[in-house]
Amino acid sequence: MQENNQDMNQSFLSKLIEGFLSFFKGIYLFFRSVPKKLVRFGHFLKDKCKGFLERWKDSNLGTKLSHFIMGSGNIYHKQYIKGLLFLAIQVGFLVVFFTNPVVGRSVTNHPVLGPIVVDPGTPIGYKSLGNLITLGTNEGSLFTSADNSMLMLLFGVLMVVMIILFIATWLANIKSSYKAQVDMAKGKKPTTIKEDIKALFDSKFHVLLLTPTIIGVSLFTIIPTIFMILIAFTDYGKGVVAGSDLFNWVGFDNFAAVFESDSEIGQRFLPVLGWTLTWAFFATFSNYIAGILLALLINKYEIRLKKMWRTIFVLTIALPQFITLLAVRSLISELGPFNQMLLNLGILEQPMAFLGQADSATTARISVLVINLWIGIPYTMLMTSGILMNVPKDTYEAAQIDGATKFQAFRHITVPYIVFVTTPYLITSFIGNITSFNIIYLLTAGDPGVPGNYAGKTDLLVTWLFELTIEQGDYNVGSVIAIFTFIITATATLLTYRHSKAYKEEDTFQ
């Protein structure tokens, strides 16, 4: 008990420092373990290859054949449907791979010149792999559009993924045939297709349930992320229109540009990064402290109608942010009643713009931070309310027996307990604030801006990224920004993750 208290009594600051130290230690340990992991991975591959060769030696004709013609092994072992399915996959893949079907090709019949290829289209097949390297060579002419480098890149990535999947299927096909062979050698009948389907609902139920998610996540998270990372290494930037201009690989030029102080992007990057971190810091801590105070206030023994009070504050979570934020933006606009109130009270002499049209960046920045309190406090309040009810009762009792006053109990039990339990939350909300798009975009859209400059004074990396890509079409720079944002959030995530139970339990991560 006593020890427990001591542990929780650790001051918050030292906890934070400790957290950051262990974070760097974690990074160091990670890099130190890389060679070890590579060696382990090498062993893993070696074992796999060994197993593959041994299986080859041990195979009968059917299984040997399945190394070349997928499904033949299954057919040899009388698993016809399964075998045909494998065969179909192989045929389908090879047909696509070698015939290179073209996507988006269009031809018009010119009355004088005859058929003209308006759009050469983009092939998907083995040519995609070459295109992934060249990103298109046909520059187009008066009548014909150029190769679509963007699609070539996309299809290239897709093709690589398809090849990996094909190899996996190929291995599965050999394994399946070998299993049937072993079953037969043991005098058992190889599994029928019916049994295989049945297994999907029983011993392989997890395969059935996980497959849709794996497909969805691969298509909409993993492939897009790879694609986006690759864009950062091209010159697909402002003014380049995929389909009429080619773009090329440029290596690390875009990354270098971000750090060159005289480049257009370089001048913007560091200020935006600085404000993003400042914003995240202040937004996180102001919400955290104010939220805890509010929770304590509501949970005060004498306060009645706790549920009603909580509901009032929770309204800002329950309402969609585009409603609450746009409402606030309108409310404090120069025409609105907030300005009028300040005028009536004599605080202002003329209406003042607080957000995008504000005279100084500082005004706008403070305004968004204050409005963020309105949005953010209820989250902390809700969370800590739950925690406050869970403060171990026996600790209080023990304290009472020892003759502690209420305040002492609060100071030495409640506060340390809340801090102890919510530290991970603090870090997740820090990450959340770095990537909080809605608040900035809906309140100021990054303004107040600087003339001729497309990063406003309240732009966070995320909103800037949005403007760069969706509004300006500056995709490569956008990708670089996205990668930097990711590095920041990922390191913060690593920090949280290393402290979470999930991580501590897992050593199996390879």
Site for another protein in 231-250 (CB under 8 A): 231
Q: What end-to-end distance do the CA atoms of the chain give, in Å? A: 38
What whole-number distance in Å separates Cα of residue 418 and Cα of residue 431? 20
309 is a site residue for another protein (CB under 8 A): yes
Which of 28/205 has CB closer to another protein?
Answer: 205
What whole-number distance in Å separates Cα of residue 380 and Cα of residue 430? 13
What whole-number distance in Å separates Cα of residue 377 and Cα of residue 106? 56
328 is a site residue for another protein (CB under 8 A): yes
Residue 415, Cα to own-chain centre: how many angstroms? 33
Which residues, numbered 3-22, are part of the site for another protein (CB under 8 A)? Answer: 11-13
438 is a site residue for another protein (CB under 8 A): yes
CB of 161 to another protein, least distance (A): 12
CB of 110 to another protein, least distance (A): 26
Which of 67/310 has CB closer to another protein?
Answer: 310
What whole-number distance in Å separates Cα of residue 234 and Cα of residue 251? 7
Which residues, numbered 472-491, are part of the site for another protein (CB under 8 A)? Answer: 475, 478-479, 482, 485-486, 489-490
Residue with tokens 């480098």: 149
What track of x and - describes contact with another protein for positions 377 through 396 (by CB under 8 A)? --x--xx-xxx---------
Residue range at the interface with another protein (CB under 8 A); choices 138-146, 257-265, 358-366, 437-445: 437-445
Question: Site size for another protein, by CB under 8 A?
Answer: 114
What whole-number distance in Å separates Cα of residue 117 and Cα of residue 143? 8
209 is a site residue for another protein (CB under 8 A): yes
508 is a site residue for another protein (CB under 8 A): yes
Return the bridge partners of 116, or none. Answer: 108
Task: Kindly report whether the peptide bond that precedes residue 448 is cis, defined as omega within 30 degrees of 0.
Answer: yes
Residue range at the interface with another protein (CB under 8 A); choices 65-73, 255-263, 360-368, 397-405: 397-405
279: exposed, middle or buried (C-beta count within 10 Å: 0-12, 13-18, 19+)? buried
194 is a site residue for another protein (CB under 8 A): no
205 is a site residue for another protein (CB under 8 A): yes
Out of 428, 449, 472, 498, point to the residue binding another protein (CB under 8 A). Answer: 428
Determine the 3-state secondary structure of 116 from DSSP: strand
Neighbours of 64 (CB within 10 A): 19
Which residues, numbered 398-417, are part of the site for another protein (CB under 8 A)? Answer: 403-405, 407-408, 411-412, 415
CB of 127 to another protein, least distance (A): 16
CB of 165 to another protein, least distance (A): 17
Return the bridge partners of 122, or none. Answer: 103
210 is a site residue for another protein (CB under 8 A): yes
Out of 75, 294, 369, 477, point to the residue binding another protein (CB under 8 A). Answer: 294
312 is a site residue for another protein (CB under 8 A): yes
Angle (CA) 276 225 265, round 5°: 40
What are the Cα distances from residue 230, in Å, to 154, 320, 468? 10, 35, 17
Whether the Cβ atoms of residue 449 and residue 334 lie closer than 8 Å to each other: no
Residue with tokens 């192989």: 90
Which of 84/404 has CB closer to another protein?
Answer: 404
Do β-strands 114-119 and 106-110 pair in parallel, antiparallel, or remain unpaired? antiparallel
Which of 180/482 has CB closer to another protein?
Answer: 482
What whole-number distance in Å separates Cα of residue 498 and Cα of residue 501? 8
Which residues, numbered 215-234, are part of the site for another protein (CB under 8 A)? Answer: 216-217, 219-225, 227-228, 231
CB of 314 to another protein, least distance (A): 6
Q: Which two tokens stand for residue 186?
A: 């043991």
465 is a site residue for another protein (CB under 8 A): yes
469 is a site residue for another protein (CB under 8 A): yes
Residue with tokens 């406090």: 377
Q: What are phi and psi of 348, to 5 degrees?
A: -115, 155
Q: Which two tokens stand for residue 480?
A: 């670089």
CB of 269 to another protein, least distance (A): 18
Which of 154/159 has CB closer to another protein?
Answer: 154
CB of 211 to another protein, least distance (A): 10
Residue with tokens 């969370």: 383
Which residues, numbered 43-82, are part of the site for another protein (CB under 8 A)? Answer: none
Which of 46/406 has CB closer to another protein?
Answer: 406
Residue range at the interface with another protein (CB under 8 A); choices 22-30, 92-100, 325-333, 393-401: 325-333
What whole-number distance in Å separates Cα of residue 85 and Cα of residue 91? 10
